[in-house]
Every structure is written in C-alpha cells, then in structure tokens.
Amino acid sequence: MDISIVIPLFNEAESLPELHAWIKRVMDAHQFSYEVIFIDDGSKDDSWKIIKELHEFDSNVKGIKFRRNYGKSPGLYCGFEKAQGDVVITMDADLQDSPDEIPEFYRMITEDGYDLVSGWKKKRYDPLSKTIPTKLFNATARKFSGIKNLHDFNCGIKAYKKEVIKNIEVYGEMHRYIPFIAKNAGFDNIGEKVVHHQARKYGVTKFGFSRFFNGYLDLLTLWFLSKFGVRPMHFFGLLGSFMFFLGFIAVVILGITKIYHLNSGNPYPLVTDSPYFYLSLTSMIIGCQLFLAGFIGELIARSAPERNNYKIEKNI
C-alpha cells in the first residue's frame, strides 16, 4: 500500500464528507493505493455515524472510535499502530489542511529520501492572539530540539516513512513534538514543505490558550529525557555537588573568619547570627537532596526493562 492517511478528529461531522471526497479525488487522480483512518476522539456529534457511512461507501475508509475524549496524541498513536502504508500522512479534519499537498509529500519521502516532512503554514488565517504565541513557541522548540530548519512544529499535515511511526511513541500531548521525538529515535533526515493554510469552514477550534503553557512543559520534558533520561545522575548529581560544595566553602569561610577574629581579640558575633550561615546550610541541604534524586533516578533507570532497548537499523 502506498499511503495511509491518519486523521484524528473531535466533533467534525460537517467537514468529514467534504474531506473524504477531496482525498478520494486526489488519490484517484494519482492512482495511489491508500487507506484513510479516521480516529473519532469521543465526539458528541454525528462524526462516528458519518465515518461508518463513508466506510460502507468506500472500503478504503477505516475508523477507530474512542469511548471518551483522550486527545490528539492518543488518536495519532492508535492510528499509527493501524497504518499499513509505506508513507503515512497525518492531517486535521477541519479542512484547514489541503489534501492536494499529499502527492508532493509522498514524493519528498519516496524520492528525496526524507524520514519525515513537516508542513509549514507560512501564511496563516488565524488571529494575532494565536499567530504571535505560535511564532514564539516554534522559536523555542527549534532552540531546544536542535532542528533549525522547521518553522511550524505543530502543523497538522506531516508525512512519515512507515518505519518512523512504528518506532516512536506519541503520548500525552507530545504530538506537537513528533519531529523532536523522531530525531531522538535516530530519524534526523527531517524536511519541511510550505503548505496552503485555509480558513476554518465549519465548527470552532478545539484547542485553548492553555496549550501554549502545556507545550512548553512538554518541551522541557522531552529535552530533559533526551539529554539525561538514561543518566539522571549527570544532571542532578552535578548540580547537587556544585550546590553542596558552594555551601560548604561558604561555611568554611565563616568559620575561618570567626577563628581569625577570636585569635585577634576582636569582638565577633556568633556564626549563627549571620544570614550567610543559613544560606550556606540551605545550599548544602539542597545539594544533598539533588544528589540523592540523581542516585534514585539512576537506580530506576538501571532497573527499567527497556534500558537496553536500542533501535537497530541494520544487521548482517
């Protein structure tokens, strides 16, 4: 099979027939063998009814229905598990992503050799309240991930080699960082394609402003796991040792100063009267706690069953 199109959705009944007809027209025009996998993320409207009707009309249509709303990442995860195409395309169901982009995405994967190609909505039809935070978010993601050539990490339309989606795990709300996840899994040949962004035709957006705050927290999580996930002592142990050493040196200086003044016959207040004593003591305690956190993290990492689950690309 040439292409699997994975489409997570939530309350998009109005757009589904038009989206399916558009996809079918493009696929037939280029004679692709394909499947369309709709993942209904606990919709409250007639989305699942429409998906069943499309399946009866077109055997290329497949569907997954969640019992409740889990989010986009679980939808993509289940869609990736079911996908059988050599190239996997993800797109949103709100008609803002154009199926006319699919043939070029397919060519970039199969002919140009990219592992992953992400869309870039260079010209957006969104309000400034959404576009400005998005630009800041993408700039931060480029910095942390090291993927300098991507301008739109969260673009819904992307293309993947089949082996990419079978070797990554998308969970929580990590769909925003699939390129980063793919890079950490060893798929670093990542490209970008400018895509046409259309104004939403039906319904309303399903994402609130809180996604920007959650996005930054998820980015920090991914960055930390990629750097120190299998060696937490390198982070916590180093930071803890530094803070303990800093506090210890400060206490020693306070003690030497006290002894010097005593030997000189100069009046000097109690060491415990100095605020620096308590700052030094606090620094040493926090340093010990960080070191212990790193040690416990190492014990957990060493006992994890997947600690040696390395992805081998070739073997002879």
Structure tokens at 112: 């140009």
Contacts for 139-147: CB closer than 8 Å, 24+ residues apart: 140/216, 140/219, 141/176, 141/177, 141/180, 141/219, 144/180, 144/219, 144/220, 144/222, 144/223, 145/177, 145/179, 145/180, 145/183, 145/219, 145/222, 145/223, 146/183, 147/179, 147/180, 147/183, 147/190
Burial call 143-165: b when 16+ CB within 10 Å, e when fewer:
ebbebeebbbbbbbbbbbbbebb
Query: pLDDT class for 128, splitting at 50, 70, 90?
Result: low
pLDDT attached to residue 173? 80
Whole-prediction pTM value? 0.75
- 23: alpha, beta or left, given left = phi > 0 and alpha = psi -120 to 50? alpha
Q: 99-103, 145-149, 174-178: which has the highest mean pLDDT?
A: 99-103
Strands across the sheet containing 34-40: 61-65, 34-40, 3-9, 87-90, 158-161, 116-120, 190-194
pLDDT reported for residue 169:
86
* Predicted confidence (pLDDT) at residue 289 exceeds the cutoff of 80: yes
Mean pLDDT of 253-263: 82
The first and second tokens of residue 206, run together, are: 């399903």
- pLDDT tier, 176 (very low <50, low <70, confident <90, very high otherwise): confident
Confidence of residue 313 (pLDDT cuts 50, 70, 90): low
Q: What does the pLDDT average to over 119-132? A: 73
pLDDT-based confidence at residue 38 (cuts at 50, 70, 90): very high
| pLDDT attached to residue 261 | 77
pLDDT of residue 81: 93
89/121: higher pLDDT: 89
Q: If one looks up domain 3-228 in CATH, what number appears?
A: 3.90.550.10
What local confidence, expressed as pLDDT, does residue 209 receive?
56
Per-residue pLDDT at 144 exceeds 90: no
What b/e readout covers 100-125, taking b as 16+ CB neighbours within 10 angstroms?
ebbeebbebbeeeebbbbbbbbeeee
pLDDT value of position 3? 97
Does residue 256 surpass a pLDDT of 90? no
pLDDT value of residue 47 = 94
Span of 112-116, 131-135, 148-152 with lowest mean pLDDT: 131-135
Residue percentage of the chain with pLDDT more than 90: 48
Instruction: Return mean pLDDT, the chain.
Output: 85
Do strands 158-161 and 87-90 pair parallel, antiparallel, or not at all (unpaired)?
antiparallel
Residue 57 pLDDT > 60, yes or no? yes
Segment 108-121 shows an average pLDDT of 94
Q: What is the pLDDT of residue 190?
A: 95
Looking at residues 232-247, what average pLDDT do you find?
87
